[in-house]
Amino acid sequence: MSSEKVSFNISVVDLGKIEMLVDRGVYTNRTDFITKALVHELSKNEDVIQQFKKDYNWAIGIQVVSKKEIEQCIKDNKKMKIYTLGMLIIDKGVTLEEAIASIESITVFGKFKASDDIKDYFKS
């Protein structure tokens, strides 16, 4: 599974508590604690995630939008609404004009890889 590095600030007191739990052997290291805490919080909010899945057409993981898909949408005079939880990759061969003609909206919860002009256009 692909992973991303995240950095954040926490209070020295909370960090001290984590360090104490690691020292006592409850967790193997800080990363172990943080990963388990994240999994716990995500599972507590699974109902929100499931409702989102019902409301939108979207993908979990790595979603790749190919030039062929873009060209088919243009040919069919259809526009995609893209929702991705994970990583969205729009093929490097897709031009901004093709993206505008075939994509209505893009929402990414995670990482978005595309040409700079496509990213800039759909960020606004």
66 and 90 Cβ atoms separated by less than 8 Å: no
CB-based contacts of 2: which residues, under 8 Å, 6+ apart? 62, 87
- Residues linked to residue 84 through DSSP beta bridges, in sequence order: 59, 108
Q: Which of 89, 94, 96, 83 is nearest to 112 (CA)?
A: 89
pLDDT in tens, the chain (124 residues): 677 888 999 999 999 999 999 999 999 999 999 999 999 999 999 999 888 777 665 788 999 999 999 999 999 999 998 999 999 999 999 999 999 999 999 999 999 999 999 999 998 6
Q: How many helices (H) and strands (E) does the chain have?
A: 6, 3
- DSSP assignment of 53-84: HHHS-EEEEEEEE-HHHHHHHHHHT--EEEEE
Read off the tokens for 124: 């606004």
